Structure 1
């Protein structure tokens, strides 16, 4: 592990009790829950138990904390608070854009075969219901070739939908270059940032991305059921409000005429489980102030390098991608079933994610991993090698 201040290490161990008993390598699925996130959720629930949920002043208080959340998030990804909508998850944000854009039958969307089902499901439904064509780029040998990708752009390509970090393999995609080339051809770029925000630095303005969606419960250590959608300020008026609620407008005449809320907030519906907002804020405060995002990025990078190098040197397995941020994916021989291996590892309190499509396991490497966690995983991988030789 990278050498860090003892106080930071102590904070990590104190606030993530599960890592004392588990070698947890699945933050890409859902992070461990910090104690502070639990406490913030419980505290808000207790407040509502004692004071009620709809008493005078509660809605104003709700909006106050939503604004606090937007402000905190804006400082992390370098966007304006007004450009952020609070959603349910990454998929929710992606669907808001897919269904909100003015797309006609025959228009095309360019994407990849490496996208998460959350994106592919929305694209599939959009294609069936609106007659939009979806064109797919497939990597060769797990290498993303940006020229080959753009060779698929056609005269009716309107949108690119792509992940910042591929969920299954960990490829870091050059979003800034993609946005530059896409904008030169009048194409919008919608990015799935689920595996990026919190694992690598993300500067929305430097990327010049149009739309960017990400969740709380992965690399930001928040609760499930809450996420974020960034919409570039200059593009607000080109995205239709396909859903609307009492948070979507500022003024209403009592009939069908209303004035939309300012900024991306117009894409928020209304009622939300308020304790999740408090939990999200607590998680962000924890990673930003108690540990520090710069420290987190350094620790993730170093832990990934160490584990990747040792897998290569000490086992018979090879990562499918070398230039990765926090995800190491290793292919398994046909004799080893990825799902069965995942279950076997759990018996030893080691948690990874199986990738059935590749017969591989995905190892999410985070800042909280210790030498003991890494040694435990490597030991099991070496045992697999021994079994293979015996067979």
Structure 2
């Protein structure tokens, strides 16, 4: 179902066109209210009870699990994608000569951990070249074989929305015994992703883009076979019996159940967690399927208009419906985005693409405004 405009839920100035959710989502009024109320609570610490260190973070764990069709026991609360990928790198065994697959032009947080892992293990990072036909799935499958220890991929490519069929890639990874680590930052919340169907070993996502939440609140899903792994840090909240503040001096070796051992310290952030809760509740209320259906109409309008200007856009079946990259010979300089911003139209230049990423606060008129301004520039 196509959803009506949700612009009234956001404080977007009249005349401003924000087609840049892949950079950062605007904060809804509800999320902002939750943050302000949380700040007021911190001003009165006697209102913060010991159980509050657990209840809201557990609710957040459950909501994220619902969003990706995963059990809440497998969800850890983390501050960033780099933190989540560091957890993966700390736990996945790699033998000398084994391969770690990444995509060309991948986001750095999904490259640097594997370079370090390869260096200390004797493995090698193999970069899958950008396919000329735009089919990332086939390009990945062609490289994925028994030599592969790990495949670290996004659901959609962050520069232009190029789509990876995670179910097919996941099935092949299991066949060859490779670990599948997915960066869902540019998809979760806008494009359906089911842990039950994809069966990744790990799924990592930031929360401040398509999940509409605050900066520094992210999520890590860990498959059952990895839940007894080694955490990056040893904080008190993740240990057994931590609910009993009076007995914290009785140090324990056991952890809280499930993936909680991978939670970041101070996971019960009394400002960020309430904001993230409000954001996830809104995303679930909209429904990810309906968000995707609605945004696909807008990105297809972008694609048609760009092609009329003889610019290049991937075919619809090869990209996510919420994010589209417009390419031209020679690429774009950063000044193109700056000149559009001066006209109150906001997009990003990433790699060789002008990246356009609408959300429910956008309209067809916003797309037409972008195309009109872009036509004047190119």
Q: Structure 2 stretches of 5 or more lacking a match?
A: 243-247
Partner residue of 1:307 out of 302, 305, 310:
302
Alignment of 1:246-285 (within 5 A): 246-251=236-241, 258-272=253-267, 273-285=269-281
Map 1:1-391; keep pairs closer than 5 Å.
4=3, 8-9=4-5, 12-18=6-12, 20-49=14-43, 51-52=44-45, 55=46, 58-141=49-132, 143-144=134-135, 146-153=137-144, 155-237=146-228, 239-251=229-241, 258-272=253-267, 273-289=269-285, 291-313=286-308, 315-323=309-317, 324-325=319-320, 326-334=322-330, 337-355=332-350, 357-358=351-352, 360-385=353-378
Which residue does 1:389 correspond to in 2?
Answer: none
Change (3 A) 1:60 1:231: same
Q: CA deviation at 1:364?
A: 0.9
Taking structure 1 as reference, are residues 45 and 57 closer, same or farther at Cα in structure 2, changes over 3 Å only?
A: closer
RMSD: 2.3
Offset, 1:333: 4.0
Q: In the alignment, is the contact (CA less than 8 A) between 1:189 and 1:209 conserved in 2?
A: yes
Figure out how many residues of one structure are paired with residues of the other and give that number: 370
Q: What is the distance in 2 between the residues matched to 1:227 and 1:87?
A: 5
Counterpart secondary structure, 1:307: helix
Q: Provide closer, same or farther for how the CA distance between residues 19 and 77 of structure 1 changes in structure 2, counting only shifts above 3 A.
A: farther
Deviation at 1:375, TM superposition (A): 1.7
Q: Deviations over 1:216-243 (max 9, x none)?
A: 1010110000100001123323x32232
146 and 301 in structure 1: CA distance in 2 versus 1, 3 angstrom threshold: closer
8 A contact 2:75–2:259 mirrored in 1: yes
Instruction: State the distance in 2 between where 1:19 and 1:301 align.
Output: 24
Seen in structure 2, the aligned counterparts of structure 1 residues 321 and 92 have a Cα distance that, compared at 3 Å, is: farther
Q: Which moved more, 1:274-283 or 1:92-101?
A: 92-101
262-271 or 12-21: which moved more? 12-21
Structure 1 CA distance, aligned partners of 2:153 and 2:289? Answer: 26
Q: Residues 363 and 228 of structure 1: is their aligned pair in 2 closer, same or farther, counting only changes over 3 Å?
A: same
TM-score normalised according to structure 2 size: 0.90
Higher mean C-alpha displacement, 40-49 vs 320-329: 320-329
C-alpha contact (below 8 Å) 1:303/1:367 kept by paired residues: no
Q: TM-score, normalised by structure 1?
A: 0.88
Tell me how far apart the structure 1 counterparts of residues 98 and 207 of structure 2 sit (CA, whole Å).
32
Contact 2:312–2:328 (CA under 8 A) maintained in structure 1: no
Change (3 A) 1:147 1:201: closer
